[in-house]
Amino acid sequence: MRFTFQTRYLLYILTVHAVLVGLTFQILEKNKPLFIASEILIGLSVIVAIGLYRSFRKPSDFIASGIEAIRDKDFTVKFVATGNDEIDPLIRVYNLMIDQLRQERTRQAEQQFFLDKLIEAAPIALLIFDFDERISAVNPKARQLLKLPESALLGRTLTGVAHPLLTQLQTLAPDQPQTVRLAGVETYRVLRGQFIDRGFRRQFLFIEELTAEIIETEKKAYGKVIRMMAHEVNNSIGAINSILHIAEPDVADPEVRQAVRVAIERNDRLNGFMRRFADVVRLPTPVIVQTDMLALTRNVSRLMQPQADNRAVALQLTLPDEPVFWPADSSQMEQVLVNVIKNAIEACEPGQTIRIRLSDSDLTVRNNGHPIPESVAANLFNPFFSTRPTGQGIGLTLTREILLNHGFTFSLSTETDGWTAFRITCPLRNAYYSNP
């Protein structure tokens, strides 16, 4: 058993004075006055020893109280000077240390509060990871961008979250910003950074959505070009066709007259071609009403059935029993569905199938025709991009603009089962099965 310094000191004092009492009794037993005087002196010595012991204890008591306060993270405890030249310097050092600790803690708390507010108000999505690369914190912008509740994110790795964007970022190199595009038109700038926490490395992920900025820049660029082209082409075609119409009756040579007629028809086709381009720029703002998507889907399918039959492609519908109402512009959504089904028909060979499925918040057109090559998947919704030699790339551009103006999310990709799916989702939760 080991004794503390205080216990050993007490045992030493008690032992010494006990021996002194015994020796005094043996030596001065017959000299009573001197014996009594010796005992008094020994008693005074004991009192002095106890006083010295208490004086020795004071610094220890101060240190113990200070340690307890620091352990409890209570930096408000301070000691008052006692007037003892040996203890007061210790008290002054402790009080100075406590003041510095309190100021540092206050400064850190203020910085942490500012950082928390900054993260909460940041317009960029932020995910913070723990030491095991699991998500430990997300800001409101991240929840909004990923469309997932906090409970579906916290404590999970990137691959453990059911979101197509996060699964692509698992192998993202640190401190190297990249641009990522999903199957639709969503485009993001992402950065995986690092910081040191308690001596260990942790990571965070910045996600900035660029979709709106990129689309707006594209629209301004191609809108200006299309308007300029349409102005020049229409002016030229109008003047040329007027001359050709005037000259056509006076041409005696049948071959020349036929050539004039071909030139007029070619000008008309060119004029129609430019009008279709201009329609993308002049697309009107959608008139949002509660639209019966069940009736619209069935009507468009009937409209496209002859084209499917001509290519020997099966058109299968899976529709709900009750009407499904979406807040949409019916004429524009009809154009979207026509474009999507037309592309699906053109992607199929005879004997293949197109499946159209409608639910309360999703409309999906799937086909088992030619899959989308990876080399073109990221460019499908680029303005006027087409993989067909005679294609103009207007259909998907117009479809993109209509769906974005409606606030609908959409994607086009070839899935793991080999089927290509165009999926439209109405994110508004007021789609319902009843008459508006």
Over residues 78-125, the pLDDT tens digits come to 777 766 676 677 778 778 888 888 888 888 888 888 888 888 888 888
Q: Are 425 and 410 in contact (CB under 8 A)?
A: yes
Looking at 189, 209, 229, the residue that finishes a domain is: 209
The pLDDT of residue 6: 67
Q: Are residues 190 and 101 in the same domain?
A: no
Which of 219, 170, 166, 162 lies closest to 188, judged by CA? Answer: 166
Beta strands (DSSP E) in 213-334 are: 289-292, 314-318, 325-328
Q: Are residues 238 and 345 in the same domain?
A: no
147-194 residue pLDDT tens: 888 888 888 888 888 787 887 787 788 888 888 877 667 778 888 888
**Average pLDDT over every residue of 282-310:** 88
310-320 residue pLDDT tens: 999 999 999 99
**Average pLDDT over every residue of 348-376:** 89
Residue 293 has pLDDT above 80, yes or no: yes
Task: Tell me the C-alpha distance between 410 and 394, whole Å.
Answer: 17
- Is the pTM value of this prediction over 0.75? no
Least confident of 186-195, 319-328, 423-432: 423-432
Task: Tell me the C-alpha distance between 177 and 180, whole Å.
Answer: 10
Q: Is residue 112 part of a domain?
A: no
Higher pLDDT, 242 or 345: 345
Percent share of the chain, pLDDT over 70: 78
Q: Are residues 203 and 220 in the same domain?
A: no
Residue 390 has pLDDT above 70, yes or no: no
Per-residue H/E/C for 73-88: CCCCCCCCCCCCCCCH
The pLDDT of residue 355: 94
Residue 217 has pLDDT above 80, yes or no: no
Which strands sit side by side in the sheet containing 353-358, from one edge to the other? 314-318, 353-358, 362-367, 420-425, 409-414
**Average pLDDT over every residue of 298-317:** 91
Residue 59 has pLDDT above 70, yes or no: no
**Average pLDDT over every residue of 347-375:** 90
Q: Are residues 197 and 221 in the same domain?
A: no
Higher pLDDT, 306 or 34: 306
- Domain extent at residue 399: 289-425
174: tokens are: 């640190």
The pLDDT of residue 432: 40
The pLDDT of residue 431: 40
Q: Is residue 272 part of a domain?
A: yes
Q: Is residue 111 part of a domain?
A: no
Q: Are residues 322 and 224 in the same domain?
A: no
Looking at 79, 105, 131, the residue that finishes a domain is: 105
Q: Are residues 151 and 248 in the same domain?
A: no
Task: Tell me the C-alpha distance between 165 and 158, whole Å.
Answer: 9
**Average pLDDT over every residue of 274-290:** 74
Q: How confident is the model at residue 279 (pLDDT cuts 50, 70, 90)?
A: low
Residue 264 has pLDDT above 50, yes or no: yes
Q: Are 327 and 290 in contact (CB under 8 A)?
A: yes
Q: How confident is the model at residue 7 (pLDDT cuts 50, 70, 90)?
A: confident
Q: Are residues 295 and 321 in the same domain?
A: yes
Three-state DSSP class for residue 267: helix
Q: Is residue 88 part of a domain?
A: yes
Q: Are 191 and 205 in contact (CB under 8 A)?
A: yes
Count of structural domains within the chain? 4
List the CATH number of the domain containing 300: 3.30.565.10
Average pLDDT along the chain: 79
Q: Are residues 201 and 218 in the same domain?
A: no
15-32 residue pLDDT tens: 877 777 777 776 666 677
Q: How confident is the model at residue 358 (pLDDT cuts 50, 70, 90)?
A: very high
Q: Are residues 93 and 14 in the same domain?
A: yes
Residue 74 has pLDDT above 60, yes or no: yes
